[in-house]
């Protein structure tokens, strides 16, 4: 790690002779494979942007120049060149460096939000601010976006505005590897593919590289060729889409030829207006297991064997795999079931459905808003769409869920993977707002399975509803052991019933295993407890009101924000029935959670069985003391 160890800042990177850049790139890839195989993380995307990141930091002057990484998971190399190489052993661990840009770590990091398609809007806003303050002539704004991110509508809203400001310098680098999580889908993908595969254009690029650059005047001519707006380039490649918007277009450029990338970026830097630099990269470059991966497992990995790329801990049954298998089973029984994904076929478990029913799967790209409204249209046309997304990404489609799906009573089932605390991917990936957001949506019904059996059961119940939307949510990772019900009364599963009716413990979804542990701890202290799982948490089962009226204290346990979550809905539900049993709510505080393991986060916010049982015991003690004091006074 000789060259790499000498780099503590972008200025150090600029001092490396061009002849040594290939050796540096090789060191970077070896370092990434070694470190990420031990911690887990986004290995494939970072292996693909090594030369690109080197070129960016050799041409631009971060942090004076603002470099914005769309999604941010491909920023590992950027972190290495900005003074954090010694911290990679703690990547994505508690108190270690984040897997995404983080302002708390470095002035070189700007955008922490890891949701796709936002970088261009950020870049537009920053450039406007620099223009207003008179700094734009001395500072550059660079946005690095993937071809997958350009499938998101927000990117095109931003491009429309950026292109209207033809005298405002802004460099847009499209990192085109033909993939987001899965192969990039849609018309834009076809357009970029045409650019990549146009034989005539490639011949011109080869001629420019091999012939023009040998001449003393060749480089200016080569740069001029890359900077042409219309005319010759329209004949050679169909990039007119971007230039018709008013964007200068450069490329395609080989994303693993650092010298060529530097040249293109220098041209873009000197141009006084918005420029798009189209860079072709290979996801997983230099690592055979990642290149050969067809299931996209190297987009984000767990701990792996660096030699083989195989997971160290395999064979675990996950929530996602149970959903995946059950949806296939349902699909075999019903021809009207179709599945929708937003560029996450494998991560959401829809890959098996796609294999079984290739004509009934729709990948819309990174476009959750479109997915929701398109699903409403499918429902109108007689289908029952199952839209599978991460819970955190449903935030982006709230308006469509509210006014296109729910307002029209569309029979659409949303399956929210990674709900609750996801842990090591940090603040933006925790699915901790869905239960709060969904509480306000009329007509919608919502369930949270506690184990594999209830996941299968509730999924089947969800897709039977064709006259309004349903939502099913479950967490990330391995599925919890089965938690059988003692009995089911009016739709409510009773999980534990011990002693007197002191505590009514209502668990939401996967928090059932915590609630059962709490119930045992309370029982050990001589406190009577009834632990229940309502299964459907919107609308709530009427039987909950009967239970609440007969207990001294209600405790609700959920892995969602306490602000507006299920506990809030239960409180309103009981007040509407004139039941005023005291209630304690246990959930996620109103805060952004830093990256750490799920267990560590749960411990930090007091959402463990020990914390919850202690709080309930202390609450009961205060009740008893208050009653004793009242008796004494009387």
Question: Which tens digit of pLDDT belongs to each residue from 50-109?
Answer: 999 999 999 999 999 999 999 888 899 999 999 999 998 888 888 888 888 989 999 999
Note the pLDDT of residue 428.
Answer: 83
Note the pLDDT of residue 149.
Answer: 84
Which is higher by pLDDT, 631 or 175? 175
Q: Are residues 561 and 512 in the same domain?
A: yes
Closest to 432 in 3D by CA, of 467, 403, 406, 394 = 394
> Would 313 be classed as within a structural domain?
no
CA distance 84 to 78: 9
User: What is the value of pTM for the model shown?
Assistant: 0.83
Residue with tokens 């993939």: 179
Give me the number of domains the chain comprises: 3
> Would 407 be classed as within a structural domain?
yes
Residue 238's pLDDT band (boundaries 50, 70, 90)?
A: very low
pLDDT at 423 over 90: no
Mean pLDDT of 372-387: 97
- Give the active site residue among 58, 396, 476, 538: 396
Q: Are residues 497 and 441 in the same domain?
A: no
Q: What CATH number should be reported for the domain holding residue 396?
A: 3.40.50.970
Q: Using a pLDDT cut of 90, give the percent of the chain over it.
A: 63
User: CB under 8 Å to 607, separation ≥6 — which residues?
Assistant: 514, 557, 559, 586, 587, 588
Question: Which tens digit of pLDDT belongs to each residue from 270-298?
Answer: 988 899 999 999 888 877 776 666 555 56
Residue 304's pLDDT band (boundaries 50, 70, 90)?
A: low
**131-138 long-range Cβ contacts below 8 angstroms, 24+ apart:** 131/168, 136/168, 136/169, 138/64
Q: How far apart are the first and last CA of the chain?
A: 80
Tell me if 512 sits within 8 A of 453, measured CB to CB. no
> Would 209 be classed as within a structural domain?
no
Q: Are residues 624 and 575 in the same domain?
A: yes
Catalytic residue list contains 283: yes
pLDDT at 404 over 60: yes
Last residue of a domain, one of 269, 289, 309: 289
> What Rg value do the Cα atoms of the chain yield, rounded?
27
Mean pLDDT of 519-547: 96
Range of the domain at 355: 319-473
Tell me if 425 sits within 8 A of 595, measured CB to CB. yes
> Would 583 be classed as within a structural domain?
yes
SS3 of residue 139 by DSSP: coil
Note the pLDDT of residue 228.
Answer: 40
Q: Are residues 7 and 128 in the same domain?
A: yes
- Give the active site residue among 84, 233, 248, 283: 283
Diameter of the chain by CA atoms?
104
Q: Are residues 412 and 558 in the same domain?
A: no
pLDDT at 266 over 70: yes
Half-sphere exposure of 14 (CA within 13 A, CB side): 11
pLDDT at 169 over 60: yes
Q: Are residues 454 and 498 in the same domain?
A: no
Residue with tokens 């949270």: 448
> Would 205 be classed as within a structural domain?
no
The total number of residues shown for the chain amounts to 634
Residue 530 backbone class (left: φ over 0; alpha: ψ -120 to 50; beta: rest): beta
> Would 180 be classed as within a structural domain?
yes
Q: Are residues 273 and 330 in the same domain?
A: no
The full DSSP string for 587-624 is EE-SSPPPS--HHHHHHHTT-SHHHHHHHHHHHHHHHH
Catalytic residue list contains 368: yes
> Would 68 be classed as within a structural domain?
yes
The full DSSP string for 156-178 is HHHHHHHHT-TTS-EEEEEEE-S
CA distance 169 to 111: 20
Q: Are residues 541 and 595 in the same domain?
A: yes
- Rounded to the nearest integer, the mean pLDDT of the chain is 87
Q: Are residues 48 and 185 in the same domain?
A: yes
> Would 295 be classed as within a structural domain?
no
Window from 109-118, 290-299, 335-344 with minimum mean pLDDT: 290-299
Q: Are residues 543 and 503 in the same domain?
A: yes
Window from 7-21, 222-236, 248-262, 374-388 with minimum mean pLDDT: 222-236
Mean pLDDT of 555-579: 96
Q: Are residues 260 and 381 in the same domain?
A: no
148-171 b/e (C-beta count within 10 Å ≥ 16 → b): bbbbbebbeebbeebbebeebbbb
Q: Are residues 549 and 442 in the same domain?
A: no
- Give the active site residue among 368, 450, 476, 535: 368
Last residue of a domain, one of 473, 500, 533: 473
Tell me if 57 sits within 8 A of 81, measured CB to CB. yes
């Amino acid at each position: 790690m000789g060259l790499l160890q000498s780099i503590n800042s972008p200025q150090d990177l600029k001092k490396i002779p061009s002849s040594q850049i290939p050796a540096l790139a090789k060191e970077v890839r070896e370092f990434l494979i070694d470190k990420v195989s031990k911690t887990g993380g986004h290995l494939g995307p970072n292996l693909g942007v090594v030369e690109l990141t080197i070129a960016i930091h050799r041409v631009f002057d971060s942090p004076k120049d603002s470099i914005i990484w769309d999604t941010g998971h491909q920023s590992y190399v950027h972190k290495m060149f900005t003074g954090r190489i010694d911290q990679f052993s703690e990547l994505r661990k508690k108190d270690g460096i984040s897997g995404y840009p983080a302002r708390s770590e470095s002035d070189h990091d700007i955008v922490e939000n890891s949701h796709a398609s936002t970088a261009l809007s950020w870049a537009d806003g920053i450039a406007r601010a620099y223009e207003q303050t008179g700094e734009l002539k001395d500072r550059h704004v660079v946005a690095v976006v993937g071809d997958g991110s350009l499938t998101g509508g927000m990117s095109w809203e931003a491009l429309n505005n950026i292109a209207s400001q033809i005298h405002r310098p802004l460099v847009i680098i499209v990192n085109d590897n033909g993939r987001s999580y899965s192969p990039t889908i849609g018309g834009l993908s076809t357009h970029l593919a045409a650019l990549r595969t146009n034989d005539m254009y490639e011949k011109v690029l080869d001629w420019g590289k091999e012939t023009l650059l040998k001449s003393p005047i060749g480089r200016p001519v080569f740069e001029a060729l890359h900077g042409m707006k219309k005319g010759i380039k329209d004949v050679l490649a169909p990039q007119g889409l971007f230039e018709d918007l008013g964007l200068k277009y450069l490329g395609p450029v080989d994303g693993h030829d650092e010298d060529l990338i530097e040249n293109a970026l220098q041209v873009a830097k000197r141009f006084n207006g918005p420029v798009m630099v189209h860079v072709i990269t290979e996801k997983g470059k230099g690592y055979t297991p990642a290149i050969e991966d067809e299931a996209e497992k190297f987009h984000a990995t767990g701990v792996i064997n660096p030699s083989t790329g195989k997971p160290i801990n395999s064979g675990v049954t996950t929530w996602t795999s149970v959903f995946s298998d059950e949806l296939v089973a349902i699909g075999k029984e019903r021809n009207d079931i179709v599945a929708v994904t937003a560029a996450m076929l494998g991560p959401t478990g829809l890959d098996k459905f796609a294999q079984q029913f290739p004509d009934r799967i729709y990948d819309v790209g990174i476009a959750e808003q479109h997915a929701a409204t398109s699903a409403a249209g499918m429902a109108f046309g007689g289908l029952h769409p199952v839209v599978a997304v991460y819970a955190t990404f449903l935030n982006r489609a709230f308006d469509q869920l509210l006014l296109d799906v729910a307002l029209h009573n569309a029979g659409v089932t949303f399956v929210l993977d990674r709900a609750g605390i996801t842990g090591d991917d940090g603040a933006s990936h925790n699915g901790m707002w869905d239960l709060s957001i969904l509480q306000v949506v009329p007509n919608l019904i919502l369930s949270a399975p506690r184990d594999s059996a209830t996941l299968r059961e509730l999924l089947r119940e969800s897709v039977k509803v064709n006259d309004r939307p349903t939502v099913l949510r479950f967490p990330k990772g391995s599925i919890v052991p089965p938690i059988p019900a003692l009995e089911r009364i009016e739709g409510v599963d009773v999980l534990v019933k011990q002693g007197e009716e002191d505590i009514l413990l209502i668990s939401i979804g996967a928090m059932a295993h915590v609630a059962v542990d709490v119930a045992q701890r309370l029982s050990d202290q001589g406190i009577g407890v009834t632990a229940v799982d309502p299964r459907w948490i919107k609308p709530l089962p009427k039987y909950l009101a009967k239970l609440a009226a007969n207990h001294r204290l209600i405790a609700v346990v959920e892995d969602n924000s306490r602000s507006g979550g299920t506990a809030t809905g239960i409180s309103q539900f009981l007040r509407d029935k004139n039941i005023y049993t005291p209630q304690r709510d246990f959930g996620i505080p109103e805060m952004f959670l830093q990256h750490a393991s799920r267990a560590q986060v749960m411990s930090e916010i007091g959402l463990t069985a020990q914390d919850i049982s202690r709080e309930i015991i202390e609450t009961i003690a205060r009740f008893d003391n208050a009653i004793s004091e009242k008796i004494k006074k009387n």
